[in-house]
Amino acid sequence: MTRISSTGSTPPRASRSETSVPVAQPKPEVRNAVVASQDSFSRPTQKGLERAAVAINPDEFVPGPTRRDVYNDLDVQKLRQQSNVKSFHEGETTPRTREDALANADRLLGGADFLRFRETAQGATILRDAKDVNDAADTDPTSARHQAALAEVEANTALEQEALQNLSPEEQQQYQAVRDGLMAVAPAGDPVAALALQKLLLEGKLPGAEAIGGEGNLLDQLHTLQTQELGEGIDRGALLSDVVQELATPESVNQRNKGTCAATAASIQLILENPAEYVRLVAGLASASGEVTLADGKTVMKREELGAEVKDGEDVRSESQELIAPAFMEVANGGELDYQDKPDAHYIDGKETHSGLYPVEFDRLAEAVFDRKVDTVSGIGGPEEEAEAWDLIQERTAAGETVAVGMTWSTGGHQVVVTGTGVDPETGAEFVEYTNPWGRTERMPKDEFLSRLNSMHTRPEEKVKEKDLDRAPRHPEAPDRISRTG
């Protein structure tokens, strides 16, 4: 186990569709019907080798609606039917409570509760699989999703007005400007995003804390995004809509068809820890200047080239991820390499070096974004090291923090954000819960998780035992360079 400390014009909005056409379709990992042992899931030669995080959801390359779409659409239709019956404007006998409003908003924004319904090829269970924040149904007045969200927004009016009384007159004006911007999105407004904004308000997250890099709190940053001058061709309404939904439902942040899982994981952690900073960075990249200084005060992050010609077609990611993911990848490689978004790879002197990010590159990014040192424990393997890693993850998540981890995933590496651990009340089995940057929440059995765990990124004061940190690689074929994640 090795510890590494790192050193210091856009096209019209992409079609809101689940279908994307890849250049080449990767083969998804196939899980055996019989639950295999820990060793069979993670061969020593695989676990010892540290890999870059580059895994992409195979569903991104499957045309037509996915099971996620079917489940979510059915659930939204149920929600719409309930709204027709219970809406205050349609005869609701008792005013709805804040808890009711938040539960309905969470259900629509976060996706149907799959619980036990879907097992992944990696042995995890998908708990929730949110619709993409740029889904076409959001702005389609004929869709059940649009209609259900609109009914919820209207039913929440009294609660919304009550919550606004806790804000100053200036803050109320900022909120209204953002709300108006969301409801002005063509062709018929985006009530899904407006519902997400209401959710933030009712949860008490507005006006919010100051951004790490300064320049105001969360509401200030959203208002800036709504009012500032933007770079040529950037769609303000679409960008604002996507950002607000990502803030309200962090698990909806999705790398889509790019191997940027580590950069996307950093976005998820930033939204969970300091959402105002996430908006500040997106707003800076979307501005006329196209650049923003990160929280470390010295790293200037610049907008990568946009446009259909540059990207070889429309980008299926959210407007915000289209801006921030490639910029994060460029920060992570330290300036020695050139990340190119179209081929989704790093280059030096015109030659491709790798895709995704190695843990040391993720550390460089995290230190600049969060303005703090990051420790990486890599090459985790064996019962003792896995037990130490598990204890640290439990300690950190119990304290309300998240832990970014690199895992063995199919034929490459993958990075996820661990948010908690627990025990199944029915079986007594321990599990880990994490946000997968494929836009969903998953739960994985402890043993399966530890068999795949390769690296862990924590604050410097959160240390595991120092023994064996400088040993040689556990397998003779293991490279000196640590594995990438994506």
The yes-or-no verdict on residue 218 having pLDDT over 80 is yes
What is residue 119's predicted lDDT score, i.e. its pLDDT? 86
Question: Alpha-carbon distance 88 to 321, whole Å?
Answer: 37
Identify the band that residue 257 occupies on the pLDDT scale cut at 50, 70 and 90. Answer: very high
- For 227-239, write each residue's pLDDT tens digit: 999 999 899 999 9
CA 139 to chain centre: 22
What is residue 481's predicted lDDT score, i.e. its pLDDT? 29
Q: What mean pLDDT do residues 61-82 have?
A: 64
- For 280-321, write each residue's pLDDT tens digit: 999 999 999 999 999 999 999 999 987 544 555 567 999 999
The yes-or-no verdict on residue 201 having pLDDT over 90 is yes
Express as a percent the part of the chain with pLDDT over 70. Answer: 74
Q: What mean pLDDT do residues 54-77 have?
A: 67
Identify the band that residue 411 occupies on the pLDDT scale cut at 50, 70 and 90. Answer: low
CB distance 67 to 476 below 8 Å: no
- For 118-149, write each residue's pLDDT tens digit: 789 999 999 999 889 999 999 999 999 999 99
Q: Name every residue whose Cβ is closer than 8 Å to that of residue 229 and which is 6 or more positions away in sequence.
A: 287, 288
Q: Which strands, in side-by-side order, build the sheet including 125-129?
A: 2-5, 375-378, 453-458, 403-409, 412-423, 430-436, 440-445, 125-129
What is residue 125's predicted lDDT score, i.e. its pLDDT? 93
The yes-or-no verdict on residue 338 having pLDDT over 50 is yes
The yes-or-no verdict on residue 23 having pLDDT over 80 is no
Higher pLDDT, 426 or 83: 426
Q: What is the mean pLDDT of the chain?
A: 82
Q: Tokens standing for 228?
A: 């500032």
How many Cα neighbours within 13 Å face the side chain of 357? 34
The yes-or-no verdict on residue 405 having pLDDT over 90 is yes
The yes-or-no verdict on residue 334 having pLDDT over 50 is yes
Higher pLDDT, 289 or 89: 289
Please, what is the angle between helix 261-273 and helix 275-286, to 10°?
120
The yes-or-no verdict on residue 68 having pLDDT over 80 is no
pTM surpassing 0.95? no
Question: Alpha-carbon distance 101 to 112, whole Å?
Answer: 16
The yes-or-no verdict on residue 107 having pLDDT over 70 is yes
Q: What mean pLDDT do residues 164-184 have?
A: 99
The yes-or-no verdict on residue 466 having pLDDT over 50 is no
The yes-or-no verdict on residue 410 having pLDDT over 50 is yes
- For 432-450, write each residue's pLDDT tens digit: 999 999 999 999 999 999 9
CA separation, residue 127 to residues 187, 206, 244, 277 (Å)? 32, 27, 22, 28
Question: Alpha-carbon distance 292 to 27, whole Å?
Answer: 38
Is 462 exposed, middle or buried, given 0-12, 13-18 or 19+ CB atoms closer than 10 A? middle
